[in-house]
Structure formats: C-alpha cells, structure tokens
C-alpha cells in the first residue's frame, strides 16, 4: 500500500473534498410585473360608436320537418305484408343482378341512420374496401352513400336517401346491384301505401 502512496492520496482527498462556493451566479426567480396601461385612441374615432352585427348561422334542414313524437309504428302483420310484397318484387327482377331485401327498422330511418347490409351479400358482391355506393331510386335520382367494409353497412348519405323518400319503420326496400358500386332501389311501403310500389 505504501508503494502506491494510498495513505497520502486519502489525506489529499479529505482536504480537497470540502465544498467550495460555485463561481456561477444563482438565477433569480422571475417576477412578472403587471401594469395597467392607458390605451390612447385617436380623437377622430374616440367619440364614435362601433356597430357590432350579430352573425346568424342558419340551421340545416333536410326536406320538411318531421314530427316523430306522434308517429304510429306499423303492426307486425303490416310489416310482414310489406316484406312479402318486396320479396315478390325481388323475384320478378332480372336474376343477372344480385339483390337483397331489407325491412326498415328504427335505426335505419330515425336517429342514427345506419343501414347494415347482409354479410354474405357484401362478401360476394361488394368492393373489398370502403367505397362510395350510389343509390338510384325508381325516378332515376342518384344518392351517393358511403359503404364501410369493416362495419358492413351504408352511412354518410343514407340519411339523405331515407329522409328524401320518407322511409318509415316497416317499409321494405329491395336493393339490386346493377354495377359494382351502384344499387337500383325499390321501395315497398308499409300499410299498402301506393308511393314507391
């Protein structure tokens, strides 16, 4: 140990380990002084009043307003009759084009406006990624909607179609795929309504 001068090194460390004051300045905490300043205005504009106009944003309205509180829902018999008529209509369509029938439920025509499609029909016939599907009604009017593959249904435009055609719970709708992203749509009204039959 003496060959390495360890005792002398340990003595040197003891004397040098006393803390020395740092040469760097200590930072002072910042104090934000708040002062009130008088804002000067030009005498040309000081006595004039400034007119403030309120901006009115119009509400979006789709077609006519519908009163949902007094809506009468179709009986199960009326729904079954509409579904049966739709299936007969579907049988009379060209077999070259794939078709399916959907009976309208509350989420399809009020509130959420989401239309789930038959899974097997989608896997066999529809695109394998999200796409814009066009719905063509019996008058030839076109309505673009968004088809979501992972949710297997129509949204984003389905509300416009449902509201424009006054679809109600119990209506049966026949979808005929006439092009890869285009449906021809036939509506069979519940309770024997002539509109759409």
pLDDT given at position 107: 80
pLDDT given at position 114: 83
Other CB atoms within 10 Å distance of the CB of residue 89: 18
pLDDT given at position 135: 92
Q: Which domains does the chain have, with CATH numbers?
A: 76-192 (2.40.330.10)
pLDDT given at position 92: 85
Intervals of the chain under pLDDT 50: 55, 69-70, 192-197
What percentage of the chain carries pLDDT values higher than 90? 23
pLDDT given at position 62: 56
β-strand partners of 144: 134
- From the list 177, 176, 196, 178, the residue with the least C-alpha distance to 187 is 196
β-strand partners of 186: 174
The tokens 């179609």 sit on which residue?
A: 161
Other CB atoms within 10 Å distance of the CB of residue 145: 21
**pTM for this prediction:** 0.59
């Amino acid at each position: 140990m003496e060959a390495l001068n360890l005792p002398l090194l340990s003595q040197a460390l003891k004397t040098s380990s006393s803390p020395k004051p740092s040469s760097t300045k200590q930072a002072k905490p910042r104090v934000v002084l708040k002062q009130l300043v008088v804002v000067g205005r030009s005498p040309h504009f000081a006595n004039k009043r400034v007119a403030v106009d309120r901006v009115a944003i119009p509400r979006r309205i789709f077609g006519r307003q519908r009163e949902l509180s007094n809506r009468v829902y179709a009986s199960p018999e009326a729904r079954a009759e509409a579904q049966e008529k739709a299936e007969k209509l579907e049988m009379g369509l060209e077999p070259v084009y794939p078709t399916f029938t959907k009976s309208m439920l509350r989420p399809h025509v009020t509130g959420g406006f989401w239309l789930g499609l038959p899974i097997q029909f989608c896997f066999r016939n529809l695109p394998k990624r999200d796409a814009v599907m066009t719905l063509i009604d019996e008058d030839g009017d076109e309505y673009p909607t968004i088809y979501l593959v992972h949710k297997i249904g129509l949204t984003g435009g389905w509300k416009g179609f449902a509201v424009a055609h006054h679809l109600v719970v119990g209506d049966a709708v026949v979808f005929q795929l006439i092009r890869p992203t285009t449906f021809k749509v036939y509506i069979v009204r519940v309770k024997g309504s002539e509109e759409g039959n």
